Amino acid sequence: MKAIFLCKNADVCHRVYDEGVVSKLRGMTELDEAIYTKEDILSSADKFSEAEFVFSTWGMPIFSEKEIKKYLPNLKCVFYGAGTVQSFARPFLDCGVKVFSAWAANAVPVAEFTVAQIILSNKGYFLTNRLYHSNGNKAAKDAFNKCNGNYGETVGIIGAGMIGKLVIHMLKQYRLKALVFDPFLSDEKAKELGVEKCELPELFERAFVVSNHLANNEQTKGMLNYDLFHRMRENAVFINTGRGAQVVEDDLVRVLQERPDITALLDVTCPEPPVEEHKFYTLPNCLLTPHIAGSAGDEVSRMGEYMLEECGKYLIGEPCKYEVTHKMLETMA
């Protein structure tokens, strides 16, 4: 099997596919260790015609079906060492090329980040920190005394995909009650996860922390609006590590202004970053982070390892765990 690396950013590719992974890939495939760009592919009609495997990560270029058939006619698999494949996968799938994604590996740090924020939120950390600085110890302590802590508190999870399910699993040790909104979650699977299904209005009314993990598609854009945010409990917290497009941001701003007790923890916005002079920058009850929940630093090598394992399974005919299909693209982030 002839394999190539295809990525806009060589440094990122080297971080995801470290020397240990490259060494193993070298033993499994006829690996060309150079990192090619789309321009490299299009500049040579014959050089890449025998490539059967593509390994990539953030910076995977977009190809049309026509380009794939012309320049990568023997391609069998794309192994994508990162999360969402929405931007590039369909033309490859339409050409019969299998696509594998390390979304499960990327889900781990996102879930860890989310769970950490949930636990701190239930303890009143973000609210009391804000009040301590603005109104002093007594005001912060009074707010803390209204928090129930983590034991038995209710958390709302919007979207039970890979990340949502992992968050639910990680939260089990804290004895929290989990409400879930996900139209694709069956009653049987909800019972298996140990969660209660409900509609969004009820979830926002009952949960102390609401965490968004909706898939990013046309059906979910603008789904989280004023009608939902204004239902939130006293001192409640909204966390978004999913996608910013699901939030009607003007509605969230309005509620944050009307309800200074509520906190929004936004790792994603739409656009990213928010436009200059957006109220998110100045609202004291809105905490922004620059899309840091996903894999970073040494965490990115986990994704290269996942794709190495998928390649190994494919080569010996074992079932692969992280193949992406057309149907999956309808609900994946």
Whether the predicted pLDDT of 294 surpasses 80:
yes
Answer yes or no: is pLDDT of 69 > 80: yes
The span from the CA of 132 to the CA of 139, in Å, is 7
Beta bridge partners of 288: 266
Q: Cα dihedral sign for 65, 332, 218, 291?
A: negative
This prediction has a pTM of: 0.83
What pLDDT score was predicted for residue 215? 84
**Element holding 289 (H helix, E strand):** none
pLDDT at 116 over 80: yes
The domains found in the chain, sorted by start residue, are: 2-105+297-329 (3.40.50.720), 107-288 (3.40.50.720)
Query: In whole angstroms, how far apart are CA 186 and each of 63, 157, 192?
Result: 36, 15, 10
* Residue of 98, 93, 80 lying closest to 307 (CA atoms): 80
User: Quick one: pLDDT at residue 296?
Assistant: 87
> How far apart, in Å, are the Cα atoms of 157 and each of 185, 193, 238?
12, 12, 10
| Cis upstream peptide for 201 (omega within 30°) | no
Residue 170 and residue 222 in contact, taking contact as beta carbons nearer than 8 Å? no
Beta bridge partners of 287: 265
140-157 residue pLDDT tens: 999 999 999 999 999 999
Residue 66 reports pLDDT greater than 90: yes
Can you give 238-256 as a three-state secondary structure string?
EEECCCHHHECHHHHHHHH
Spell 247-271 as b/e; 16+ CB within 10 A means b.
bbbebbbebbeebebbbbbbbbbee
Question: What is the tens place of the pLDDT at every residue in 187-216?
Answer: 999 999 999 999 999 999 999 999 999 988
Q: What is the pLDDT averaged over residues 211-236?
A: 95
* CB-based contact 176:123 (threshold 8 Å): no
pLDDT of residue 19: 96
pLDDT at residue 70 in the model: 96
Please determine, for residue 75, whether its predicted confidence score (pLDDT) is greater than 80.
yes
Rg over CA atoms, the chain? 22
Say what the pLDDT of residue 329 is. Answer: 85
Residue with tokens 């590996």: 105
Interior/surface letters 201-219, b for 16+ CB within 10 angstroms, e for the rest: eebbebbbbbbbbbbbbee
Rounded to whole angstroms, the Cα distance separating 33 from 40 reads 14
How far is residue 75 from each of residues 2, 45, 81, 96, 141, measured CA to CA in Å?
A: 9, 14, 17, 9, 62
* Per-residue model confidence as pLDDT tens digits over 13-43: 999 999 999 999 999 999 999 999 999 999 9
Q: How far is CA 263 from the centre of its chain?
A: 21
